[in-house]
Chain A
Amino acid sequence: MNLTRWYAKAMLSNGSLWFWAVAFMAMWLGIGAFLESQGVGTTRSAIVAYTTSWYAVIVLIALSLLAAVISGSYAYGSSALAYAFRYSRLTPTGYLASLVGGSALVGLVLNVVLLGATAGMFGLRFSTTLLPADPIALVGVSLLGGVFFMALSSTLALLAINHLGLRSADFVGYVPLVLAFVLGNGQVYVAFPRWFVYGSPFNDLTSLLYQGFSGSSATVELGAAAVSLGWVPLLLGILVWTAGLVGCTLVLLRRIRSRNLEERRQI
């Protein structure tokens, strides 16, 4: 049973998601384009590198906000899911497939909107046309990013719901956001070792987004030299993480516990 369109509709009609993942992130793009860009060189390559760095990190954080929304939906829906798996035609596999489809679609929508905002604002600031070098690759990375963050937030939320309680579920909802913020920005300012970037799904995504927009490989510093990151290991890294987390989600979803919403009160 496929509920993809229901899930996509529920997520896309979430006003908070549009505010935080689109409007708030677009504001940061504006800051990057108009306030933080004073020292950027005038060469095309410098402008593209600067723009792409902002775009990649902002999309990563926007996708992590999608994760926060999904995490919250588990807290509200734990009883509904525990009931539906018993007393309706809904199966954990079908539900997860719907989540995969819905979050991939929403990931794509977020990326397209932020891509437009990036191209518009940075293009205006630098008086040049800034379009993605490989839009097809960006579509693929967006879909994959949506699924990865869905699987990460699902695993964390279900671990909390099944074993810790709803108060913990509230806190774990922020973990993807914190990791995306720290690791996404970290890649811009810190010389992460190559193995770390390949092994970190957040940096795999950032690097692939960078490559898809700029057409050049993301780099890491190795001694005094900059070394390009290969797209194959980056793609493999995010695929392995996503597959592993989807598997964990399925196992946890089969054992979902009903939690009373009143548990969620923090004070």
Chain B
Amino acid sequence: MPSDKDWFDRFVIGLPERRLFKFLAARILVPFWAWWTPVKPLPGGPHPSAQPGDNLQCMMNLIMPLKDKSAVGRAKAAGAIAANKDQIYAGLNNVGTVHFARFVIVGDNICMFSVYDGDFTNYIRDFIATIGSVFNAVVELVEGGEDVIPCEHNAEAFIEWVHARDLYQVPDTATGVLRDQEALKGDKAASGDDDLDLLPRRLTLQLHANPNVSLGSGYRAYPGYSAAQIRKQLGIGW
């Protein structure tokens, strides 16, 4: 027969699903631990490439907050993409290393998600060299965009600007975020005096510092192949 102790235990196990606890966690516990044990936001973009295969099918998840946070602002952004679709596609064709690219509006952000081969800075430099003048129409609608317009004449600043808005890519493995945080602090030790029970807190605080992230490196149907190899194999050229 269940005792009072069992009842209390079941009550406690169910606490995280209760509204009051969720409120306390979001408004008090997370801010307290973020203040007591500060966590630096991990940088966006792909992890450093070590092997040739790491340079293939890289992700860019660019989140750009719109200046005008209303339906009118969102419509302007949608209009800018629609009006410049041919120029953007032609530019991406000329870059040549892009597998997929798409624009998405989420909340009051215009987002560009793409999968490309090669180095990030080269990708952005090529991209902006080919469609910079068109991309200005998008960038001018975005907070901080005026700092890098005209993009085609501010390539280095634009690369930095994009990098700052590219999402942190959480590693595929459960403990990968710990390794990234250690690397950010210059800690490359194989062994330490860790407390693995703190993994949920470390992840929570990273997501507090870095609210938008990309989860894992993503599924790939044909990993390890460049856009050029796929085109060649399929006989569709360029």
Q: Do these two chains really belong together in a complex?
A: no
Give the interface of B toward A (CB within 8 A): none
Instruction: Report which A residues bind B (CB closer than 8 A).
Output: none
